[in-house]
Amino acid sequence: MSHLENLTLTIWRQSGPDDAGHFERYRIESISDEASFLEMLDVLNERLIDEGKEAIVFDHDCREGICGTCSLMIDGQAHGPQRGTATCQLHMRKFKSGDEIIVEPWRATAFPIIKDLMVDRSPLDRIVEAGGFITAPTGGAPDANIIPVPKPVADAAMDAAECIGCGACVAACPNGAANLFTAAKVSHLNLLPQGQPERWSRVEAMVETMDEYFGSCTNHGECEAACPKSISIDVIALMHRDYRKAKFKNRKLISQI
């Protein structure tokens, strides 16, 4: 185990939603290279609390890359420099001694800053509420394999279902669009037999809820590069196709095949 010396952190501090906010610089004399980025912030916060200053507020929960709570724009990259990794799984060994690291919150009109590095991502919840469910009657767990699903379809649906809803796609998108998030949520149900009854109403409702908060897709692919689950923008094409079909099917109100 070795240590990194002399890190300079430039961190966004903002006391509340209405505050203008500013960058503040902090020095880290020494930190283990086995510390995660969030643990490094924990160490810094302990020090700030000891000094009687206010700790830096940031989102975190499971710290094992599956809950989608952590965020942070690190050196201009959502979830930092390591591809396919959430901030909580990013370790200090990805940095060098003497590095200057700039940490900012996600920035999008739909994600107002609550405090410091914490933003309100509830518009993503609004999108899921609009259609990210199935209305099959629930009961006891059904037997495995009672509904046959071809393996490639199950794989594709699972790839989409990997989305942890962290909002990195919105943060990385030059247009502040949430197409990758919405498309992942649409695809994971629309690909599976269980999602078919609401397939067309789902995609229409979710896309139009997305429209109320976010920008539009210009196919840069930045979201895919930022996604901690490396979800492909292929799901966006799938959502665009289903939305196009849904507009015609829902309009005619015939049997939605």
Place of tokens 């000094």: 51
Given 5, 6, 17, 49, the residue binding other proteins (CB under 8 A) = 17
Answer yes or no: are the C-beta atoms of 202 and 245 closer than 8 Å: no
- Of 36 and 167, which CB lies nearer to other proteins in the complex structure? 167
Pairing mode, strands 3-13 and 100-104 = parallel
- Please enumerate in sequence order all residues whose Cβ is within 8 A of that of 231, keeping only pairs 6 or more positions apart, or say none: 159, 160, 162, 163, 180, 184, 224
Answer yes or no: are the C-beta atoms of 224 and 232 closer than 8 Å: yes
What are 92's two structure tokens?
């200090």
- Binding to other proteins (CB under 8 A) within 177-196 occurs at 177
The answer to the question of residue 73 lying near other proteins (CB under 8 A) is: yes
CB of residue 35 to other proteins, shortest distance in Å: 22
The answer to the question of residue 161 lying near other proteins (CB under 8 A) is: no
- Of 135 and 145, which CB lies nearer to other proteins in the complex structure? 135
Place of tokens 């049997």: 255
**What is the phi/psi pair of residue 128, to 5°?**
-65, -40
Answer yes or no: are the C-beta atoms of 215 and 177 closer than 8 Å: yes
Neighbours of 208 (CB within 10 A): 13
CA dist 251 and 31 (Å) reads 60
The answer to the question of residue 238 lying near other proteins (CB under 8 A) is: yes
CB of residue 50 to other proteins, shortest distance in Å: 27
- Binding to other proteins (CB under 8 A) within 31-70 occurs at 59, 68-69
CB of residue 19 to other proteins, shortest distance in Å: 12
The answer to the question of residue 242 lying near other proteins (CB under 8 A) is: yes
Answer yes or no: are the C-beta atoms of 190 and 238 closer than 8 Å: yes
Given 9, 90, 172, 189, the residue binding other proteins (CB under 8 A) = 172
Binding mask 100-139 toward other proteins (x if CB under 8 A, else -) reads --x-x--xxxx-x-x---xxxxx-xxx--xxx-x------
Q: Using alpha carbons only, how large is the chain's radius of gyration in Å?
A: 21
CB of residue 15 to other proteins, shortest distance in Å: 14
How far does Cα 57 stand from its chain's mean position? 18
- Of 17 and 34, which CB lies nearer to other proteins in the complex structure? 17
Q: Quick one: which of 206, 203, 237, 228 has its CA closest to 81?
A: 228
The answer to the question of residue 86 lying near other proteins (CB under 8 A) is: no
CB of residue 247 to other proteins, shortest distance in Å: 6
Binding stretches for other proteins (CB under 8 A): 10, 12, 17, 21, 23, 59, 68-69, 73, 75-77, 102, 104, 107-110, 112, 114, 118-122, 124-126, 129-131, 133, 165, 172, 174-177, 205, 207-208, 211, 213-222, 224-226, 233-234, 236-244, 247, 251
